[in-house]
Amino acid sequence: MEDFTYYCPTKIIFGKGTENKVGKEISEKKILLHYGGGSIKKSGLYDKVIASLQNVGIEYVELSGVVPNPRISKVKEGIEICRKQGIAFILAVGGGSVIDSAKAIAAGVPYEGDVWDLFIKDIPIKNPLPVGVILTISAAGSEASPSSVITNETETRKLHIRSDLLRPKFAIMDPELTFTLPKFQTASGIADMMAHVCERYFTNTSSVDLTDKLCEATLRSIIRNAKLVTNNPNDYEVRANLMWASTLAHNGLLGTGREEDWASHMIEHEISAFYDVTHGAGLAVIVPAWMKYVYKQDLERFAQFAKEVWGIEAASKEEAALKGIEEMKIFFREIGLPTTLKEMELDNQKFGEMAKACTERGEVGNFVKLSPADIVKIYELARE
């Protein structure tokens, strides 16, 4: 096991009706209320949030319209508003996209230059505004993560910033808020959480038995509840288990003491950047293709994945490894996700260009270090 510092200060407020307490969690008197395209109005959540803020006399300025794969232009709008109006707190109500947009605004307000600099240069994040979250989708794990992933729409780039200072102050998580999710969004979220665990599970670090078992248990629980949620979208317990899994999959706990990989995410982010696809659906295509490309690096680990996560045993480790990967694809298909680029109907596939953009800062991944040529091969494996 490697040395590590684990710091995850986000206060989790989990359960039915917890969104009604949001006003009490905020000490600032004027905030930015940040949300997406309207699902929070349709579900009635917006009215509850406003009532809770008004109850404690918090003034709010609204900035809505965050889109999936959130844009830097919206971030810049938010920075302007916060500066002009002297706002010192951001409340993100939504999913990963809204939370990431809020974090980027938070980081950008005190930074004097162009906020995109923070994404392309190694500039440390200093004194970001505090961010609070009301989560409406179990997926990205941004509610407790240190990262923000933003798309620069004019440059066709999707890049991230990362700092423990960006971890939200609190995350309000009411599983009932996820009942209204369309089936495809629920499934994409499931693939994203599973990918977050896999990025940590496939490691060359030895003697990490405890976190191996935590990863396997988290994956098994996600799979079990994913199979139930399709026919029971309003089952509180099923939604609750998925919601907590989204946080645990990505708050850093499962990666403690291990070298993490993250190649699949880097490779998928280029698909999102070039084609504006749903992140989790992109991962359902890329993770199995990545696995097929790298499994020989550690047959033992892949056979363990097949056995402990999918219940597969086979005559040889290689056979088990391949069956485990295939089982994951079958599962993604069962929950309604694409598993090939062809199914995603991406025309004009620019594999070379995407691989080049992906490796702009050098090879990606740690389990196996990948060059642009490797990444092109992974896109090709993902094609059909």
Q: For residues 204 and 210, give the distance between their C-alpha atoms in angstroms, rounded to a whole number.
A: 15
Comparing CB distances to Zn ion, the nearer of 174 and 192 is: 192
Number of residues this chain uses to bind ligand NZQ (CB under 6 A):
35
Asked whether 45 and 94 are in contact (CB, 8 A), the reply is no
Q: Which residue is nearest to Zn ion (CB)?
A: 192
Instruction: Classify residue 182 as exposed, middle or buried by CB count within 10 Å of its CB (0-12, 13-18, 19+).
Output: exposed
372 interacts with ligand NZQ by CB under 6 A: no
Contacts with ligand NZQ in 252-271 (CB under 6 A)?
Answer: 265
Comparing CB distances to Zn ion, the nearer of 87 and 99 is: 99
33 interacts with ligand NZQ by CB under 6 A: no
Helix (H), strand (E) at residue 159: strand 157-162
Comparing CB distances to Zn ion, the nearer of 192 and 374 is: 192
189 interacts with ligand NZQ by CB under 6 A: yes
145 interacts with ligand NZQ by CB under 6 A: yes
Q: Is 91 helix (H, G, I), strand (E, B) or coil?
A: strand
140 interacts with ligand NZQ by CB under 6 A: yes
Q: Is 14 left (phi over 0), alpha (psi -120 to 50) or beta?
A: beta
97 interacts with ligand NZQ by CB under 6 A: yes
128 binds, among Zn ion, ligand NZQ, none (CB under 5 to 8 A by kind): none
Answer for which of 13, 129, 137, 344 binds ligand NZQ (CB under 6 A) is: 137
Q: Which of 59, 56, 51, 61 is nearest to 17 (CA)?
A: 51
In sequence order, what DSSP letters do the residues of 167-199 get, joined into one string? S-SEEEE-GGGGTT--HHHHHHHHHHHHHHHHH
Comparing CB distances to ligand NZQ, the nearer of 107 and 139 is: 139
Region of 20-28, 75-83, 94-102, 122-130 interacting with ligand NZQ (CB under 6 A): 94-102
52 binds, among ligand NZQ, Zn ion, none (CB under 5 to 8 A by kind): none
Asked whether 340 and 384 are in contact (CB, 8 A), the reply is yes
CA distances from 62 to 102, 225, 328 (A): 12, 35, 41
Comparing CB distances to ligand NZQ, the nearer of 188 and 359 is: 188
Instruction: Classify residue 340 as exposed, middle or buried by CB count within 10 Å of its CB (0-12, 13-18, 19+).
Output: middle
Give start and end residues of each alpha helix (H) in 202-262.
209-229, 236-248
Asked whether 280 and 274 are in contact (CB, 8 A), the reply is no
180 interacts with ligand NZQ by CB under 6 A: yes
Answer for which of 104, 181, 322, 328 binds ligand NZQ (CB under 6 A) is: 181
Where along the sequence are the contacts to Zn ion (CB under 5 A)?
192
Contacts with ligand NZQ in 291-350 (CB under 6 A)?
Answer: none
Residue 294 tokens read as: 């790298």
* Binding stretches for ligand NZQ (CB under 6 A): 36-40, 43, 68-69, 94-98, 100, 136-137, 139-142, 145, 147-149, 177-178, 180-181, 185, 189, 192, 250, 265, 279-280
